[in-house]
Amino acid sequence: MSEAAIGIMDSGFGGLSVWREVQKRLPSENLIYFADSGFCPYGTRPEDEVFGLTHRVIRFLISKGCKLLVIACNTATGVAIQRLRATYDLPFVGMEPALKPASEASKTGVIGVLATENTFKGERFHKNKEIHAAGKELIVQPGYGLVELVEEGKLNGAEAREKLEPLIQPMLEGNVDQLVLGCSHYPFLSKEIKELVGERMNLLDPAPAVSKQVERLIEQYQLANSGDQEPYFKFFSSGDIVALRQFVENNLPEQRTLPKSFEKVLVF
């Protein structure tokens, strides 16, 4: 039993797609979310910089007593999770593009992957591809401008469509039937993506699988919260805290009534 919180981090709002799944699956758990929006995006920065940014957020979450850490960011997972696991004696859960379920479900044998430039560059992605997508054709596409759209809360409408169309069109032409959302920000664009692809593609968001893994580790390490007290939900940001609050209120409708606190972090 442990009343300590589960810590969840991302470069910005994207990891909230994981937060909502963890909260649904483990409703008694205290959750601390950190949006590193002051330094978003991570996906185009040099690797050592992404490692440094991720490490300081993890240190912050550990200073808050977190019992388990979720790197709800494909980019940061690829760059940092191995070194962080070797450094800290705490369970870590990361995320990576869902190539395995995509390969299993694909009928056309062509899989589309949208992710950040850093995710595609990483060794982790290449291993994932070799192990889980051998024999499949992959159309990989960096999601230029998509993280910025989500950070600005522009999830629907003409601007979102204009950015998405040229990224998705080659996948429609290439007969993709499984589209892997390889950045935690992208599930917030699902509605607009579905408008473009109709029934032709199934969208894969790894967040439910990530939350299952969190549940497994909580059981394995006997870390569950007793549930005697109402859980708390704390949100921190290195960027615009009002924007984070608005994003949470507008885009997590199922969790709208939960009590939440928001705090900007300047130096940590």
Binding region for ligand DGL (CB under 6 A): 10-11, 14, 40-43, 73-75, 116, 119, 147, 183-185
- Nearer to ligand DGL by Cβ, of 40 and 168: the residue is 40
Nearest-approach distance from CB 49 to ligand DGL, in angstroms: 12
Among 9, 35, 57, 73, the one annotated catalytic: 73
Q: Which lies closer to ligand DGL via its Cβ, residue 57 or residue 223?
A: 57
**Beta carbon nearer to ligand DGL, 98 or 183:** 183
Helix 207-220 × helix 16-25 angle, to 10°: 50
Residue 265 and residue 155: Cα distance in Å, rounded? 26
Q: Name the residue nearer to ligand DGL (CB basis): 184 or 237.
A: 184
CB of 37 to ligand DGL, least distance (A): 9
Helix axis angle for 74-87 and 47-63, nearest 10°, is 60
Q: Which two tokens stand for residue 43?
A: 């996906």
Q: Which residue in 115, 183, 204, 214 is the catalytic one?
A: 183
Compute the least distance from the CB of residue 265 to ligand DGL, in Å. Answer: 17
- d(Cα 209, Cα 102) in Å, to the nearest integer? 13
CB of 176 to ligand DGL, least distance (A): 20
**Gap between the Cα atoms of 92 and 146, Å rounded:** 27
Burial 47-63 (b: 16+ CB within 10 A, else e): eeebbebbbebbebbee
Q: Any long-range contacts for 260-267 (C-beta under 8 Å, 24+ apart)?
A: 260/233, 260/234, 260/235, 261/232, 261/233, 261/234, 261/235, 262/235, 262/236, 262/237, 263/234, 263/235, 263/236, 263/237, 264/236, 264/237, 264/238, 264/239, 265/34, 265/60, 265/236, 265/237, 265/238, 266/238
The least CB distance from residue 34 to ligand DGL, in Å, is 13
Least distance to ligand DGL from the beta carbon of 184, Å?
4
91 vs 142, which CB is nearer to ligand DGL? Answer: 142
Is residue 40 part of the annotated active site? The answer reads: no
Comparing every residue's Cβ against ligand DGL, the nearest one is 43
Helix (H, G, I), strand (E, B) or coil at 1: coil
Return the number of the residue (211 or 225) whose C-beta is nearest ligand DGL: 211
Query: Is 171 in contact with 201 (CB distance < 8 Å)?
Result: yes
Query: Is 73 among the catalytic positions?
Result: yes
Q: Which residues are catalytic?
A: 73, 183
